[in-house]
Amino acid sequence: MQQKYRHQDTSFLISVEHISNISLKRRVYAALSDVFQGFIKTDNNDYSMSFFFTDNLDIFIQEKDFLRRGNILMGDKQVYFKDDEINFLINLKKQNQIYIRVKDNEKILSSLRIFNKSFKNNIELQATTFYYRIFMIFSQLWNLNNHSTYIHASGVEIDGKSILFSADSGIGKSSLLLKLCEDSKYHFISDDMTIVSNKSKAFHQGRCLSIKPYHLKYFDGLITKLNNSMSLLQILQWKFLYKYNLTCRINPCNLFANTSKGASIKRVIHLCNHNSVDFKIRRIDLNEYIRLSIPILENELHLANFKLNILASFPDSNFLSTNKVYSQTENILKDALKDVILNVVYVPYMSNPNDLYEFLHSKRCLS
């Protein structure tokens, strides 16, 4: 049981073949399929990253001599990493080949998704932890080696060009997508993280959109799309427990009529809240945009960054420290965005996202 997904112009492999427990294998595969449901599937066997899940990680440990930092071991050929969140093994000759341990830690209470704000059980939470702590940081290392980087931005394609909306969490990137998806001329590229190359192209990244109850009051058709994506129990959770910061992930294909594999970047709009009741916009230069965007990317990946810095801190380690990661990120952005229109838009705090859409439309920023 395995699946390959598109990443930029290559692909990555997700496999559960090394899980011996049949029931656990099926549940982990279902959980991973849910996490990556918005990514583009591919038959490309020339994949650049591979992630193998196992319930017996020890059988893949070949070395006996390691440098050690607590439960983190680094040898000449392998790295073994274990902390309170996750346990994985890297073959140093193939740093893009990673083995991840999964635990059958499901209990009666944890199996009742209705008590989790994201409607996830323990197996599904392990899959989510893998995505944010391992997939994101190692795919970013692959990006950097291939002259590209993530930025914390959503993106759409229109008329063959991409428009990106970068911002800190909670400002309105996803809300703007929920409005744009109502118009079929906008093709989905990404939500939350966008891959940007030094050739000024934005690539598809299929993480599902995070929907929260407050979104429903702004977008009339959203509740129908959401109910079509939810189980009956989750619908009941949202009906009776809606005050408890609930989250539902929805496949962008269920929102947008079309998706895009990637497009040249025309404009990047950086969103920022302010206390005024008025929307404001101004042009910014490349240095200011980089100053605004890189700290946000660092914050979004901070727990994964912590793990990477541990690996980079061993003597003779070949892993990049986060200082080098973000230095390379800055250099890539300087090439990627040097001929791109850059704006910062000041958004009234807790304003209606439809008003943001109307403002951007009036300034001709959405075409």
Per cent of the chain over pLDDT 70 is 98
> Distance between CA atoms of 164 and 155, rounded to whole angstroms?
4
* Token pair for 16: 């559960």
pLDDT at res. 227: 87
> Distance between CA atoms of 177 and 218, rounded to whole angstroms?
12
Is residue 104 predicted with pLDDT exceeding 90?
Answer: no
* pTM for this predicted structure: 0.91
> Distance between CA atoms of 280 and 282, rounded to whole angstroms?
7
Q: Is 110 helix (H, G, I), strand (E, B) or coil?
A: coil
Is residue 121 predicted with pLDDT exceeding 90?
Answer: no
Residues 39-82 have pLDDT tens digits of 999 988 888 999 999 999 988 988 888 898 888 999 988 999 99
Residues 300-354 have pLDDT tens digits of 998 889 999 999 999 988 899 999 999 999 999 999 999 999 999 999 998 999 9
Question: Is the CATH code 3.90.228 the one for domain 149-362?
Answer: yes
pLDDT at res. 202: 97
Q: Is 1 helix (H, G, I), strand (E, B) or coil?
A: coil
Is residue 215 predicted with pLDDT exceeding 80?
Answer: yes
Number of Cβ atoms within 10 Å of the Cβ of 128: 16
Is residue 110 predicted with pLDDT exceeding 70?
Answer: no
Residues 236-246 have pLDDT tens digits of 888 887 666 88
Residues 157-201 have pLDDT tens digits of 999 999 999 999 888 889 999 999 999 999 999 998 999 999 999
Task: Give residue limits of the domains in the chain.
Answer: 2-146, 149-362
Is residue 274 predicted with pLDDT exceeding 70?
Answer: yes
